[in-house]
Structures are given as C-alpha cells and as structure tokens.
Structure 1
Amino acid sequence: MSEHLSRQVRSRPSDRGRATPYKLVVLGSDTGEIVRAAGGLVVDSIRAGWHVEVYLESAGDDRALHVLGVSGRAMPTTFDYDVAWPDAVFFAAGLPERNVGVGKLITDAIRRRRTDLAKWDDKPVSDHRSGTVIEHRLSSAALAFKQHAMTASGMPAHAAPVEAFHSALRRPGDIPPPLPRA
C-alpha cells in the first residue's frame, strides 16, 4: 500500500476495533482491467495485512486474480457494509455512472468522510486538471505478481513500477448520478 495512503488511513478514527484489518475494495469492469490498473496495489495491500475485496462487472477467468491473492466477486446491486465499512475504495472511472450500486457506494463513502476514494482511467496524469494524483510504487514482489497475473489474463507482461490513481472526489455533487435502470 502506498505510504501516503496508509498514513492517511491510519490518521482517521475507525468504526472498528483495533484488531480488525483495514479493508480495500477494488471495483472494475473485468479481471484484465483490475490487474492492469491496480494489480500491484492489491498485492501490496494484502502483504501489508489489509483485507481486499475485488468486484467485477463481468465475470471471467479468475486465474489472474488468484495470482494476485484474491478472488473476484460479481458486482452486487447494493453494497451493505454496516460496521465493516471499507477504509479505501479504488474504482474504474465511469463505473459510478454505469452502476447504480457503485454510484451509491461512492456517494455514501463521500458522506462518511472516512473512506479514501480513488479512480483510475486511461488518461495521462497530466490531463487531470484538479484533485490529487496518488502514485502507488509497486514493491518488487507486487511487480512480479502483477506481471504473472498479466500473463494469466493474456496481456503482455510489461508492468510499470508505478500505478497512478486520481482522487478528485470531494462531495456527492462531484459524482454524476447513476443511469436509471432500463
């Protein structure tokens, strides 16, 4: 887990007891996207003792996620966290607009002000005009596992040593409303 992010999470009060591990939720369209965008973060978070949950819009071959140390779950229609609220949620840009449940999760997290939110997209970091860029520098183990996971997903095994995320969401108005169900 990036030093900046873990330091930020530790500084906030938690709703849980001290023995409860931090929780990271990662939301993406498919296995390949998760591996490419956040595979190193997933590995480093697990190695740091975090509980990591991965949710996918489309189910697929889970082998690449197993290489990272997690299993993919189908994206639920609603996220019900009650007491065990995530400490961090990382998600694909555009997902809150496509999925009502994700949009509500992000909005609820913003209102709670205890959850770090970050998104990834295909835009270069320089294209983002506002917000904070979070760069997660992969450990050598995370880089190796990510490269193997990329191979398992059928991608070239050329992983960058840094994963970039954008944390520009400050209030519920920053997120467009989810699309109505058809």
Structure 2
Amino acid sequence: MRYRLDVVAPSVAEVVRNAGGWLVDRVMAGWDVTVLVTGDDDIRPLQILGVETADLEAVMALWEERPHPQTVAVAAELFVSDARVRAGVLGALEQGFTEVTLWGEQWPEELDSTIDSVQHELSAAARAFKVQALAAVGDTDPFGRTEAFRCGVMSCPSVAADLVPAS
C-alpha cells in the first residue's frame, strides 16, 4: 500500500509557491500525490513536480466514494472561503486519522488550538524541481530551504517524519 496525499488549492501557482518542494519530496519518497485545483490553470508546473492532478469540483462531488488519504494539505484561503473544504478539514481533525496540513496567510483562528507550526526542509532535488515549476507559472521570486505549514495533531502516529516542529 502506498501512502496518499491530497492537496486542495485555489490555483496551481499557490501550490507550487507554498508546497512545491514538499510535494516533490513526498513523490520521491513513494507517495501518491494528487493536487485538486479549481479553474482551468495550466497544469504543466504540477507535472514538473511529479504530481497527479484532478478537478476540485469533480472530486468534491464524489468525496465520500474516494479512498481517504493519509494526509490532506489545504490552502488556508480555501478553508476560510469554501464551506465544503472547511467541513472536510474539521471532520478530519475531529476523527484524528488523517494528517491535516495547511499553509497560507489567511489563518483561521478557530484552528489555533488544534494546529501546530511545522516546516519541511527541501531536498536539493525538491529545490531544483520547484525552481522549474515556479518558472513555468511565471514566478521568479527566490524561496528558502524550508516550507512552512500548520499541521493537525493526529490521534495515531504520523505516517511521515518530514514535517518537523518549527522553532
């Protein structure tokens, strides 16, 4: 059985900028990573990262039938703006069986007690692929060696050791 990570984001550029390196490292570790996005963005940058893609609306319509992933990563912006995403995140946190990881500036205060700051240190390969994916979305801004997230506490041990507490 391979581990699964579903990523929910409003755009391809958002995923690449905030989580691109982490996704590359998860793919290289053998995870099945699927990015669920809205709209008709060019998916080539996500192909550079080595992830699968799916339409968010189509997946949300069949969410209960879809095999549940070990980890869900969500742009905090969508948690705030989309009631379905919010309900899914809160449900996953309540059940405690799915690792919930969020990123973004628009931080929902209601999650402060259940979410801890974590970071992922990008491998050299992740940095190289992220540079190319960023170029493909027209983003040439520099980025650091780590990507910062907030991660929900699970009732069972995490399946991944690549997210460590941020100091």
For residues 8 and 53 of structure 2, what CA distance do their matches in structure 1 show? 10
User: Counterpart of 2:12?
Assistant: 31
Cα distance in 2 for partners of 1:91, 1:46 equals 17
TM-score, structure 1 normalization: 0.72
**TM-score relative to the length of structure 2:** 0.78
Distance 2:39 2:131 in 1: 22
Describe the superposition over 1:25-66 as per-residue Cα deviations: whole angstroms up to 9, x where unpaired.
Answer: 111110000000000111000000111110112221111111
Report the CA distance shift for 1:81/1:141 in structure 2 as closer, same or farther (over 3 A): farther
Alignment of 1:3-82 (within 5 A): 20-76=1-57, 77-78=60-61, 80-81=63-64
Q: CA deviation at 1:74?
A: 1.5
Structure 1 segments (4+ residues) deviating >6 Å: none
Specify every segment of 5 or more residues in structure 2 that has no aligned partner in the other structure, as ranges: 155-167
User: What's the % identity of the aligned pairs?
Assistant: 31
Question: For 1:103, which of 77, 86, 92 is the aligned residue?
Answer: 86
**Among residues 127, 145, 148, which one is paired with 1:164 in the alignment?**
148
Taking the aligned partners of 2:138 and 2:83, their CA distance within structure 1 comes to 30
Distance in 2 of aligned mates of 1:168 and 1:69: 25
CA contact (8 A) 1:79 1:105 kept: no
> 1:160 corresponds to which letter in structure 2?
G
Task: Give how far 1:108 is off.
Answer: 2.5
Cα deviation, residue 80, structure 1: 2.3
Query: How many pairs does the alignment contain?
Result: 148
* Paired position in structure 2 for 1:137: 121
CA deviations 1:44-103 (Å, max 9, x no partner) are 000001111101122211111110012332112345255831111111112123223322
- The whole-number CA distance in structure 1 between the counterparts of 2:89 and 2:49 is 25
Letter of the 1:86 counterpart: P
RMSD across aligned C-alpha pairs, in angstroms? 2.5
Query: Is the partner of 2:51 in helix, strand or coil?
Result: coil
Kept in 2: contact 1:79–1:101 (CA 8 A): no
Q: Deviations over 1:115-140 (max 9, x none)?
A: 1112111379xxx9764111000010
Q: Which has the larger radius of gyration?
A: 1
Aligned to 1:174: none
SS of residue in 2 equivalent to 1:94:
helix
Between Structure 1 and Structure 2, the one with more strand by share is 2
